[in-house]
Amino acid sequence: MSTHRRAVEQIRQSYAEIPGDAAPRLAKSTSNLFRFRDGGKTAKLSARDLDEVISVDPDTMTAEVQGMTTYEHLVDATLPYGLMPYVVPQLKTITLGGAVTGLGIESTSFRDGLPHESVEELEILTGDGRVVVARDDNEHRELFRAFPNSYGTLGYALRIRIKLRKVQPYVHLTHVKFTDAAKCMLAMQEICDSMVYDGDPVDFVDGVFFEPGEMYLTLGRFADRAPYISDYTGMRIYYQSIRQRSRDWLTVRDYLWRWDTDWFWCSRAFGVQQPVVRSLMPRRWMRSDVYRRLVALDRKHGVTARVDRWRGLPVSESVIQDVETPVERGAEFLEFFHEKVGMTPVWMCPLRASSRWPIYPLEPGKLYVNFGFWGMVPLPRGQFDGYYNRLIERAVHDLDGHKSLYSTSFYAREQFWQLYNGDAYWPVKREYDPNGRLLDLYEKCVRGR
């Protein structure tokens, strides 16, 4: 903790030295955001000394973690104790602070909600330069409740105390095929409500939509032993295995990172799923953060766009989003998405919030389904960039859903503050950032400043 206190003092002083006309930005080695910024005067705020696991307490089943610590490092610290965070977002380099001030999700979210719901305490550098400790039961409760989905516009998480749960060494997977989206959504609701399938307990639920007549729910349960263990960190590809086998076994660590090796299925854009390319590529490069850097380089230099023009292909739009709808509207969303966008596969992950978090207002106790889709879609003749993303925003709103703000958004200001509860956000913003040193949520997440 003494090392942590020195790091806190360093970042507090650095923040105070930033010129008043420059927007502070955390200097991070990796990012899982897809809001690429253009222009604007900014000042980088180093967070390199805030990326450690401070302690793991197996008795209280909690961990003290610095805000820039990745889930990969946290999981490596907790698994030797037979513990893991309640919700572990699916990519290794997502940070604790990022998952709390943004939103994370994974296959335990049907039971345990989003990552911030297992946080007990937040140490925050606020917009006005203070360092405060916020909990659900102290004088900074409103900041604690508004911090999720604030994306660094209220302050930065310096330290997080997070609850942990017990695990077993292995996860047994069952892939259940459906040919009808409505029946798939109904089964998801029943399984998430009962937490049982075919007489066995269910600890994990997610799924993949491949096409209208082929989708799968993947149901996982902890196990003390396994008859075999699959490895999807080399030549074999996890998402393809879902269509090839009905049952599987993974170590708990490999299960938590099953999507990271191929960035779900997005590694195919780099040729990594071609056997020859895959055999030559070092395993240490088959990671989501490597692919993310490649995307950033491509955007910076416009390589793909130039190649597409040379080949006479239509201009494509980046459609990278996570959205959720109530489970009873999930089949409608899949029908819309397949007809109007057509990208496959689509990730499906159920979630249920245990209480109300004001800036991302999910109805407590209600089951939603997160749909994740990431790729490029050719634009129809006469349409311009943003066409598909605007279609998706309207559809999600019409289906009583929500959209994560880690990627591009096009909402009008008034609609945005209705959807993301400006009435709750602005009193907290004025209390902890009265001079507007940090961008507000609309300026950062929609206007991309």
The tens digit of pLDDT for each residue in 106-139 reads 999 999 999 999 999 999 999 999 999 999 999 9
Q: Judge whether residue 449 has pLDDT over 70.
A: no
Count of CB atoms within 10 A of residue 16's CB? 8
Q: Which candidate, 349, 334, 347, places its Cα nearest to that of 188? A: 349
- pLDDT of res. 22: 78
Rg (CA), the chain: 21
Residues contacting 282, CB < 8 A, separation 6+: none
pLDDT band at 25 (very low <50, low <70, confident <90, very high): confident
Burial of 368 (0-12, 13-18, 19+ CB in 10 A): buried
- pLDDT of res. 65: 97
- pLDDT of res. 232: 97
Residues contacting 92, CB < 8 A, separation 6+: 70, 71, 72, 257, 260, 287, 288, 289
Q: Which candidate, 81, 104, 84, places its Cα nearest to that of 157? A: 104
pLDDT band at 42 (very low <50, low <70, confident <90, very high): low
pLDDT-wise least confident of 8-12, 176-180, 224-228, 389-393: 8-12
- pLDDT of res. 35: 55
d(CA 142, CA 132): 12
Mean pLDDT of 14-34: 75
What are the structural domains of the chain? Answer: 2-167 (3.30.465.10), 170-258 (no CATH), 302-410 (3.30.70.2520)
- The rounded mean pLDDT for the chain is 93
pLDDT in tens, 433-442: 999 999 999 9
- pLDDT of res. 36: 55
pLDDT in tens, 408-427: 999 999 999 999 999 999 99
d(CA 135, CA 123): 9
- pLDDT of res. 69: 95
Better-predicted residue by pLDDT, 431 or 44 = 431
pLDDT in tens, 227-243: 999 999 999 999 999 99
- pLDDT of res. 331: 98
HSE of 124 in the Cβ direction (CA atoms, 13 Å)? 31
Burial of 301 (0-12, 13-18, 19+ CB in 10 A): exposed
Q: Judge whether residue 29 has pLDDT over 70.
A: no
pLDDT in tens, 66-78: 999 999 999 999 9
Q: Judge whether residue 48 has pLDDT over 80.
A: no
Which H helix or E strand runs over 374? strand 368-378
- pLDDT of res. 31: 63
Q: Which candidate, 84, 92, 130, places its Cα nearest to that of 108? A: 84
Better-predicted residue by pLDDT, 69 or 303 = 69
